[in-house]
Amino acid sequence: MQAQGRAVVVELFTSQGCSSCPPADEYLHELAKRDDVIALALHVDYWDYIGWKDIFADPAYTARQRKYAKVAGRRMVYTPQMIINGQEDVVGNRPQDVQALIAAHQAKPAQVRLHVTRAGRALQINARDVSGAGQSWDVQLVSYRPESPVKITRGENAGHDFTYANVVTGITRIAQWQGNTPLSLNAKAPGDGPVVVVVQRAGLGRIAAAQIAK
């Protein structure tokens, strides 16, 4: 069990219309069971034209993936791609490579201490920047569905039934925090389902802390 806020965030950019994505989608189920990882599936829309429109796809997630690429100096995006703690990218159907990056991020010193409590839909978020760098952080609220079954009838994955893990249903920046003072913030979950509070370097930089609030 990791200390509160210290779980490594794995964002899988995937598509129901991508024939190489099912192994990565399945692997995300394994990651989602771990206490030291927060696994999130963000479905992109740029494969919708090849015969099957991904019912979970959102242009906002495509934009997030493209911004990650721009920040990192990469020229292209792809599926299945995993972004580890907002920094490294790796092909999502290569578990050994993914695990190596997760372990590397677990070994890094903490930059932010995060504590989230939930009562109904009310969230209390407290954080402290322990890096001493006085950085600017985005505080984001990510909602997701733990399991989402889909029957695919067209496209590259036609004829298959899949159950997707931790499908992201929304990402909202709820605050921009200057880390030179402690953060104490009240927020409201968008529904009764689980949410993740993510503290990320402004501009889609390193994710310094994240915690699930169920």
pTM of the predicted model as reported, rounded to 2 decimal places: 0.96
Tens-digit pLDDT profile for residues 2-56:
456 789 999 999 999 999 999 999 999 999 999 999 999 999 999 999 999 999 9
Taking the C-alpha atoms of residue 96 and residue 94, their distance in angstroms, rounded to an integer, is 6
Return the amino acid letter for 54. Answer: D
Check residue 134 and give its pLDDT.
79
> Sorting pLDDT into bands at 50, 70 and 90, what band is 1?
very low
Q: Which two tokens stand for residue 3?
A: 């200390």
Q: Which domains occur in the chain, in start order? A: 8-213 (2.60.40.10)
Residues 102 and 10: beta-carbon distance below 8 Å: yes
H helices of the chain, in order, are 22-32, 59-72, 95-106
Tens-digit pLDDT profile for residues 105-134:
999 999 999 999 999 999 999 999 998 877
Which residue's structure tokens are 């529904």? Answer: 191
Q: How far is CA 140 from each of CA 26, 107, 196, 208, rounded to the nearest angstrom? A: 26, 24, 8, 12
Tens-digit pLDDT profile for residues 183-213:
999 999 999 999 999 999 999 999 999 999 9
Q: Hey, which residues does 195 pair with through a beta bridge?
A: 143, 213
Q: How far is CA 113 from each of CA 181, 182, 199, 210, rounded to the nearest angstrom? A: 12, 10, 10, 9
Across residues 62-80, what is the average pLDDT? 96
Q: How far is CA 57 from each of CA 162, 176, 189, rounded to the nearest angstrom? A: 15, 26, 21
Residues 83 and 98: beta-carbon distance below 8 Å: no
